[in-house]
Amino acid sequence: MSGTEYKSSSVLIDDVTLHLGRPVTADHQWVGQAEPLRSLLACWLVVAADDLPLAPRLIGPPGIGKTTLASVAALRRDQDLYIYQCTSDTRPEDLLVTPVLAESGKISYHASALVTAMVRGGVCVLDEGNRMSEKSWASLAPLLDHRRYAESVIAGVTIHAHADFRCVVTMNDDESTYEVPEYILSRLQPTIELGFPDRADEMEILRYHLPFAREQLLQLTVDFLQRAHGLDLEHSPRDGIHIIRYALKRLAQADSDAENEPHPLSADAAWHEALQKVLGDEALDLDRVAAERQRALSASAAGAAGLSLDDLFFGDQGQGGEQSPGSDNPQHPSPPGDDET
């Protein structure tokens, strides 16, 4: 890294001073699911003099623990952690170096969390990477392959990553995101997938975050989340944490207002209120939501395969012989003698 001198909060690269950011002070712990954490740590190993670390993508539904896992991995390696929150508004210069007009009237250059991690040899989590546009991703192509550098057009410098620099990109699989271009995805390898925790892990996660929560609320929440996971609905540990927190606050409030409350608030009632307030009315009837979702999925699959809904839901047998009168569906002709006229 010729031409680079380090100072505590700035660095000089090719005569341009870059002001560096601060690492995130996080005290997270990872509960359960050891395998994705091991996979991520493996990606960051360097096993020979010519070897390079990998920059994997960590995928999974919202609120499942992606950012937490990436942060814990950085702490396990005893490295500074930098988190860059990607959004649809992120411009290439935001990702790298931003010019700021100083009081003196001069322009000063501020390094992003990513560039600070590159310079200091920290870990950068590019969080929610698939919210970012192709244009911004393009500026990272050389950083994410063997070249390990980024060019700031604004500051007119090429920034080389420190040998200890590590990177991971988290990605949600929800709909409000861009398609990450293929040439970038081919650099973000391998894919580490985070699935929903099992019952024991989910209970431990909730207990870890809410050690003061009463047992009944924990049990109700884990039962709910596990049912939701079983039905393939995307309710996450984060939702569970919010539900319990709100229920606990309502119970504490009811206790302190006991004189004015006509009826004492039970833990069960507080929990149901919290469930409805956090996740909406739909969450009160998971089976119906799951059935509707299944119907919508089947309908779109049928559309793709050129089948009708009747083909899917009634098949060859019909529905136990019941047929709507006057049906002219050749697959389900009215049974003999079923003519009402």
Nearer to ligand ATP, 13 or 240 (CB): 240
Burial class (CB in 10 A: 0-12, 13-18, 19+), 162: middle
Structure tokens at 214: 């009463």
Q: How far apart are CA 148 and CA 133, in angstroms?
A: 21
For the CB of residue 33, give the shortest distance to ligand ATP in the complex, in Å: 6
Structure tokens at 103: 């009081």
Sign of CA dihedral 115, 68, 282, 249: negative
For the CB of residue 206, give the shortest distance to ligand ATP in the complex, in Å: 9
For the CB of residue 246, give the shortest distance to ligand ATP in the complex, in Å: 15
Nearer to ligand ATP, 65 or 92 (CB): 65
Q: Which does 62 bind (CB under 5 to 8 A by kind): Mg ion, ligand ATP, none?
A: ligand ATP
Q: Which does 314 bind (CB under 5 to 8 A by kind): ligand ATP, Mg ion, none?
A: none
Tell which residue, 234, 235, 221, 272, has the closest CA to residue 250: 272
Q: Which of residues 158-217 bind Mg ion (CB under 5 A)?
A: none
Nearer to Mg ion, 67 or 116 (CB): 67
Q: Which does 65 bind (CB under 5 to 8 A by kind): ligand ATP, Mg ion, none?
A: ligand ATP
Nearer to Mg ion, 71 or 136 (CB): 71
Nearer to ligand ATP, 33 or 98 (CB): 33
Residue in 36, 53, 67, 217 binding Mg ion, rule: CB under 5 A: 67
Burial class (CB in 10 A: 0-12, 13-18, 19+), 73: buried
For the CB of residue 71, give the shortest distance to ligand ATP in the complex, in Å: 8
Q: Which residue is nearest to ligand ATP (CB)?
A: 65
Is 68 an interacting residue with respect to Mg ion (CB under 5 A)?
A: no
Q: How far apart are CA 180 and CA 8, in angstroms?
A: 35
Nearer to ligand ATP, 77 or 238 (CB): 238
Is 136 an interacting residue with respect to Mg ion (CB under 5 A)?
A: no
Tell which residue, 274, 174, 265, 175, has the closest CA to residue 224: 274
The answer to whether residues 193 and 39 touch, using CB atoms and an 8 Å cutoff, is no
Structure tokens at 261: 């409350």
**Region for residue 318 given its phi and psi (left: phi exceeds 0; alpha: psi -120 to 50; beta: otherwise):** left
Q: How far apart are CA 213 and CA 153, in angstroms?
A: 52
Q: What angle do CA 76, 78, 83 make, to 5 degrees?
A: 85
Nearer to ligand ATP, 73 or 205 (CB): 205
* Cα pseudo-dihedral 59, 65, 68, 72, rounded to 10: -80
For the CB of residue 207, give the shortest distance to ligand ATP in the complex, in Å: 10
Q: Which parts of this chain interact with ligand ATP (CB under 6 A)?
A: 30-33, 60, 62-68, 128, 170, 172, 205, 208-209, 237-238, 241
The answer to whether residues 113 and 122 touch, using CB atoms and an 8 Å cutoff, is no
Q: Which does 19 bind (CB under 5 to 8 A by kind): ligand ATP, Mg ion, none?
A: none
Is 152 an interacting residue with respect to Mg ion (CB under 5 A)?
A: no
For the CB of residue 299, give the shortest distance to Mg ion in the complex, in Å: 32
Q: Which stretch binds Mg ion (CB under 5 A): 18-26, 27-35, 62-70, 254-262?
A: 62-70
Nearer to ligand ATP, 53 or 129 (CB): 129
Q: How many helices (H) and strands (E) does the chain have?
A: 12, 12
Q: Which does 205 bind (CB under 5 to 8 A by kind): ligand ATP, Mg ion, none?
A: ligand ATP
Nearer to ligand ATP, 58 or 157 (CB): 58
For the CB of residue 239, give the shortest distance to ligand ATP in the complex, in Å: 9
- First and final C-alpha spacing in the chain: 91
Binding site for Mg ion (CB under 5 A): 66-67
